[in-house]
Structure 1
């Protein structure tokens, strides 16, 4: 069975990142219920579920969550909702927000309000952010592309520029799909991340009764920049 195209791109560009998994496994081991925000096709959720944790996956994209459920070996609860405005059935001891998901949001106040409702008393919120994005103008040599395969097709995602200012980081990519007959279909993709520091997150979270507790560092890899994970206690 072939995977929907947008789910393949999600896997190619995000799905193979593993540098943060030890931290999510550590935090989930201390929680009875975990909410994975920005779960996508299940990069974090499915690994935690396979390790025996109770995880609910939240994403704005119903198609990605459908693919997550298709891949799951056991049923996984999902919530299709905007991370800036969501409600949950019950509360969670851990709310995990991996891979710069929070930097995609335009309404972090709504996000923190939603999290506060969903977080159990004394629970933890963990937010990953990229703080070390360096500008890149597309001059050779290009970074290595992300490459994946599905149903005989090859998917190539090539970063071509990173533009950073005081407010946002814009990541430009050229995507190519190569058919079994070697026909190439090329499109462009743009992701915009809002620039935010751990201190700014701490101030925003404090307005909703969340206390910054710890800052963890995830080192860079050959394919991904380093990130910081800010831990809060409810």
Structure 2
């Protein structure tokens, strides 16, 4: 991981905010705190902490969590961090809500470990809320392409251009070209591929039920000009 990787995370994920109100509503009354799974640099964790919630941010990448801690300190809020695999984690104390935003669950090729860990991490009656994208339509890179994600850091411009979405069995492959443009017009470019598991609310409900979690509610996050709509499956422990 590097400075550039933190910037790419912010460019491609950090400015999405269409779901923040929903996570805030779900966190209301979370007396024993919230676990943000796949927290990255704090897109969801920091607003929840600023609203007065007790938040633990979990991510597999310690450098993303390092950036989150710096931002929390700058904002004057407290966020506990845990560098761990979402398929195998243990909290010091159970929480009232486990939030899994922005298709994080679809980055996991298998989810039994996550549901087992989540069940252990919940207080009795606690909830797990999982966002999934079910409307990713394939395209082959023919113009017009979607608008790129843009950001600037250290005098460089970062451009992340989606070029294709491909269906491969039970997976979706999202292909991007990442380009960095320096102050003297230096250029670096490389391809990046994100693999998402294809999941459905019903399929998640079956997986969760094996670990004592019952599907309670299905919520919706509307599409934006830059992002597809999502569904949020809420489970009760």
The residue correspondences of 1:1-234 to structure 2 (distance < 5 A) are 4-32=3-31, 33-72=33-72, 73-234=76-237
Distance 1:48 1:174 in 2: 32
How far residue 4 of structure 1 moved from its aligned partner, in angstroms, is: 1.3
How far residue 166 of structure 1 moved from its aligned partner, in angstroms, is: 3.9
Give the secondary-structure state (helix, strand or coil) at the position aligned to 1:7: helix
Distance 1:34 1:58 in 2: 11
Q: TM-score, normalised by structure 2?
A: 0.96
Instruction: List alignment gaps of at least 5 residues for structure 2.
Output: none
RMSD: 0.9
Distance 2:110 2:175 in 1: 23
Distance 2:29 2:196 in 1: 30
Q: Output one character per residue of 1:69-108: Cα deviation in whole Å (capped at 9) or x when no partner.
A: 0111233210000000111111000000000000001230
How far residue 30 of structure 1 moved from its aligned partner, in angstroms, is: 2.1
How far residue 52 of structure 1 moved from its aligned partner, in angstroms, is: 1.0
Instruction: List alignment gaps of at least 5 residues for structure 1.
Output: none
Distance 2:128 2:100 in 1: 8
Distance 2:50 2:160 in 1: 29
8 Å contact kept, 2:150–2:158: yes
How far residue 29 of structure 1 moved from its aligned partner, in angstroms, is: 1.4
Give the secondary-structure state (helix, strand or coil) at the position aligned to 1:69: helix
Q: Output one character per residue of 1:83-136: Cα deviation in whole Å (capped at 9) or x when no partner.
A: 001111110000000000000012300010000000110001000000000001
Q: TM-score, normalised by structure 1?
A: 0.97
